[in-house]
Amino acid sequence: MSDTSDNPLSARVLALAGLVQALAQVRRIADTGQANASVLETSLGSVFRIEADSPEGVYGGREQVRPGLMLLREYFGSKPKDEQLPRLALSVMQLERRFVGDAAMADKVQAGIRAQSGPARELGCTHPDVIAAMGSLYADTLSNLRPRVLVQGNPHYLGQAGVVAEVRAVLLAAVRSAVLWRQMGGSMWDFLLRRRAMAATVDELLR
């Protein structure tokens, strides 16, 4: 199985899968108060793999973003089960543009991630203390940018500090994937000019 870094479109599609996979978890957490443990670990783990050599390396392997690739297949097939997911992805992509244009904020976020890399290694990236720290990092930085990413869900769960921290931590992971997507050459033009090619690439990566 070849490394997607050899294929720019495959690399972009993999990053996009990481993005929608994280946002599907954001929606799940906001609605139910619970995340899928393995998907949560993939998303949060990607935040700490700043120096990964390839998109696969960011997520710990291509298989780890299979749920995101399945979501992309639904989207490109015009059969998204969650109509809010594409809108949420667009909001995160817009936020990423503001974020990378603010060098001071980018430095602050990277420093915050590095400060938590030790606890994440020792306790695990899904430990409540690590999630709380990453949620606070998002609240102190990215949540101050416009447009804000608005997450709808069950008020019962969104009134709980632990759930809010988890939502914010996974939103940070979604932004990390959006940054990777841009780094791999992704742009909004892909959805207009390369939609068919991206759909074919999703099918290829799922084989």
DSSP string, 51-66: T-SSHHHHHTSGGGGH
Burial of 156 (0-12, 13-18, 19+ CB in 10 A): exposed
Pick the CATH number of 4-206 from 3.40.50.920, 3.40.50.300, 1.10.3890.10, 1.10.3210.10: 1.10.3890.10
CB atoms within 10 A of CB 160: 12
Would you state the pLDDT for residue 5?
53
Average pLDDT score over the chain: 94
| Dihedral angle of Cα 100, 103, 109, 115, to the nearest 10 degrees | 140
- Cα–Cα dist 145/197, whole Å: 33
Q: For the beta carbon of residue 52, count every other beta carbon within 10 angstroms.
A: 14
* pLDDT greater than 90 at residue 114: yes
pLDDT over 50 at 1, yes or no? no
